[in-house]
Amino acid sequence: MKNAVISAFATRTNALLACSATVLLAASASTAAIAAPAVTHGLTADSASIGTYAQEVVAAAAVSAAVAQAEGNAQLAATAPSTSSAAATATSIYHLYVATNGSDSNAGTQARPFKTINKAASSAKAGTTVHVAAGTYSGNVTTKVSGTSTNRIRFVSDTKWGAKIIGSGTEAMWTNSGSYIDITGFDISGPGRLGVLNNGSNTLVSNNHIHNITVSGGCKGAGGAGIVNANYSGSNGDVIGNVVRDIGKPGACNGVQGIYSSNRGGKIMNNIVYRASAYGIHLWHAATDVTIANNTVFANGSSGMGGGIVIGVGDSPGGVQLKNTKVINNIVYKNPRAGISQYCYSGQACIGSGNVTANNLVYGNGSAITMKVGSATGTISADPKFVSYNPAGTGDYRLQSGSPAANKGTATSAPAVDMLGVARPKGGAFDIGAYENF
């Protein structure tokens, strides 16, 4: 992937971490299974009905499309499709089906589904939704065909996290080279260094559970990530509403991040990111004009490397300044080394104009916010008062009543729905974090 996640960050002094509102996650680093939820807002497939999941799918797509058209003024759909399948959106012209009991010699219809996502991907054309039934799909996925701006290609797990992709080898578990592609609702794990490697433009990676990417090939210069927008000349890779966890081992490899973006544009919103080896969210290479909003990021890196969220540019392709990038409404909590940082190599002026860092809750990190250009505004330095916090992901990360993060976010450039498709705001103003609580 042309070293898109090469990291020479041993000298970095800080990182930018975004931790958002609340979620129940039950998972350990040693297993790919998610424990049964203890509250109804949990992020397991079992906790969401088909209707709720459909709402999340529609909401993430609406965030992606509407913010691109009119940032800050989008009216986002938050209602479920009438069909029982979350993937069956009205805009799809064609439909293909995949199931573990199918065959790649079948026609790919609902009655005669394909067996592999790769077969469906090679058969898809603009305007196709690929419906993937629940079950375990062993082996890596490769998607190459592009959609168009009016007829996207959508790969959707019909049950949230029900279609489980267990990859193999030391590289990417899912490699996408197509543009105008959606990847929604999958559970992705495996021994490689990358969960989803995206080389396309105008893409949406949403509502996935990407976890236990074990980097079995070792800590090398090529680095790794749960999700990476890797093509320096690409643009507008949206990463919305995902749970990204256990990407490598915290503190083990400075080049392995949770979410990593290397190019222009894109929204990184409403994600939960924890226990990445280095940074939870990382911008580098040719990143600019990115919005990082309402994420929950905690327990990433170690006292010696990584942290929450770091933004900057450097290395290949060169000649880029980070401009018009917004870091807003994130909760940054208990990352051992750093909270929020702007970073450049020594002697380089990589931070340009138009950047905004505002209304973030940053607390309990090794350091708080480090800016090279400008100042952070509206920062809250207080315990977010989660319902319960556990760095292993087994806590309940919703906000208690009276949380300092409630009704303290900015509406400008923020997503108009939360991670579950709930309209923002519920109270007098936006909550900070991935969930709208009060």
Residue 154's contacts (CB-CB under 8 Å, 6 or more residues apart) are 87, 89, 92, 128, 129, 130, 181, 182, 184
The answer to whether residue 412 is domain-embedded is no
Number of domains within the chain: 1
Per-residue pLDDT tens over the stretch 111-168 = 999 999 999 999 999 999 999 999 999 999 999 999 999 999 999 999 999 999 999 9
Q: What is the pLDDT of residue 39?
A: 25
Burial class (CB in 10 A: 0-12, 13-18, 19+), 145: middle
Per-residue pLDDT tens over the stretch 373-390 = 999 999 999 999 998 999
Q: What is the pLDDT of residue 174?
A: 99
d(CA 67, CA 149): 15
Run of H or E including 68: helix 50-69
Q: What is the pLDDT of residue 110?
A: 97
The mean pLDDT value for 71-98 works out to: 49
Per-residue pLDDT tens over the stretch 186-216 = 999 999 999 999 999 999 999 999 999 999 9
Q: What is the pLDDT of residue 50?
A: 46
Does the pLDDT value for residue 316 go beyond 60?
A: yes
pTM, two decimals, is 0.86
The answer to whether residue 97 is domain-embedded is no
The answer to whether residue 337 is domain-embedded is yes
The answer to whether residue 300 is domain-embedded is yes
Secondary structure (3-state) at 100: coil
Confidence of residue 396 (pLDDT cuts 50, 70, 90): confident
* Distance (Å) of CA 191 to CA 101, 214, 229, 235: 25, 5, 20, 28
The answer to whether residue 408 is domain-embedded is no
Range scoring the smallest mean pLDDT among 69-83, 252-266, 327-341: 69-83
Residue 228's contacts (CB-CB under 8 Å, 6 or more residues apart) are 1, 4, 5, 194, 196, 197, 198, 257, 259, 260, 261, 262
The answer to whether residue 311 is domain-embedded is yes
Expressed as residue numbers, the domain containing 191 is 45-80+183-399
The mean pLDDT value for 339-346 works out to: 98
Per-residue pLDDT tens over the stretch 5-29 = 333 333 332 332 233 333 333 333 3
The answer to whether residue 52 is domain-embedded is yes
The answer to whether residue 380 is domain-embedded is yes
Confidence of residue 92 (pLDDT cuts 50, 70, 90): confident
